[in-house]
Each structure stands twice: as structure tokens, then as C-alpha cells.
Amino acid sequence: MQKRTLYAAGKFAALALIVLIIVRMAASDRVSRTGFSAMTDAVTADFQTDHVLEGQAQMVRRLYGLDPSAYDGVLLYYPGTNMDCEELFLVKLKSTDQQDEVRAAIESRKSTQLDNFNGYGTYQYGMLQQSVTEIDGNYCLFVCADNADTIKQDFLKAL
């Protein structure tokens, strides 16, 4: 009787912990099944591309220090001139373990841009301060635009 109670307690404790881990994972480690092209369509729907250029792998390496082949998908629109600061960077991760490296790369890029405009590009500096970094499961988004919040909503909806 005592042994059975012990086993039952162990069983329920293990199950409760599994449920707890799943709840935590669901909150922080959600992996989106949205395809990269569908996500690209969603985030670029409201993004103005007048002041930006589309970046290839080389530009991703130069501006963010990341190797695009290490990810499932990378999209970059970078400022067309030195006086522009509009930017959109979307990454689909292969694993949520890559979140930290991409977050660090985005922060570093944002910090560089803030330093560039600090003191003389008030408008650009303000826009960079209002920029959005959103990392959710296997997708990362950095967007610097007048309507960054709208693009963030598009991104969250598409996840």
C-alpha cells in the first residue's frame, strides 16, 4: 500500500512537472509553421521601400555579422543613402537556440545606427529609438520605419 502510494505520488509529480514545462515552453518557445515567403509578404505589405535597397548575403554579413546560410531564411532591406535609416531585417531561425545570437546582432546594428545619427540626425535618431525588435520562437524581426508598430502587428499576426 505504502509503495503504491509512493509510485502514484511520483507519477503525478512527474506529470505535473511535464505540464509546467510545456506551459513555459508554449509561452516562450513557440515555433511558427508560417513559411518564410508568407512571412516576407506579411511584413513587407506595409513597409515603404522608397528609401531602402534589398540586401544580399554579403550585406547581411557586413551590417549584422551573421551568415545567412545558418538560417532558414533571411530578408534585409537597408537604408538607400547615408541620410536614410529605414531598415527591415527578418530572420527565420533553424532552431530557437539561435535567438540570442540574432538578438545580439540586431542590438549591435541598432546601437551603431544610433551612434551614427546621434547629434545631427534628430528625425532619424527618433525613428531608430522607436524601432521595433521582436523575437518570437523561430522568427526575429527588426524594423525601423515610421509605421514600425503596424509592421510589428503584421508580423505577429502572420506567426
Partner 1 sequence: MSFSSISFLFLFMGLVCLCYWLIPRQYQTAKLVLLFVAGLLFYTWGDAKALPVYLLSVLFNCFAGAEIGEVLDEEGTRPGDPRPQRAKVRVIFAAAADLAVLALFKYSALAMPVGISFYTFSAMSYLFDVYYGRTEDRGNFLTACFYITFFPKLISGPIVEYKDMAEQIDYRTLSSSDFTIGTTKFIAGLFKKVLIADNFQALVADISGKQTMAAGTAWLCMIYYSLELYFDFSGYSDMAIGLARIFGFQFDENFNYPYLSQGLTDFWRRWHISLGRWFRDYVYIPLGGNRKGKQRQIINLCVVWILTGVWHGSTLNFVFWGIYHGCLIMLERFVVPGVERWPAAVRIFFTDLLVGIGWIFFFCPGLGASVHFMGQMFGAGGLGFVNKETVYYFTGNLVLLVAAVICCGPGLKKLNAKITASGQAGRVVSTVLVALLFALTIAYMVGSTYHSFLYFTF
* Contact residues for partner 1, defined by CB under 8 A: 1, 3-4, 7-8, 10-11, 14-15, 17-18, 21-22, 25-26, 29-33, 95-97, 137
**Backbone dihedral angles phi then psi of residue 5, each to the nearest 5 degrees:** -60, -40
Residue 13 buriedness (CB in 10 A; 0-12 / 13-18 / 19+): exposed
Q: How far is the CB of 97 from partner 1 (least distance, A)?
A: 7
The C-alpha torsion from 157 through 70 and 57 to 41, rounded to 10°, is -20
Q: How far is the CB of 133 from partner 1 (least distance, A)?
A: 21
Please state whether beta strands 87-92 and 132-136 pair in parallel, antiparallel, or not at all (unpaired): unpaired
**Minimum CB distance to partner 1 smaller for 84 or for 137:** 137
Contact by Cβ (8 Å): 75, 90: yes
**Minimum CB distance to partner 1 smaller for 73 or for 84:** 73
**Minimum CB distance to partner 1 smaller for 50 or for 97:** 97
Q: How far is the CB of 155 from partner 1 (least distance, A)?
A: 15
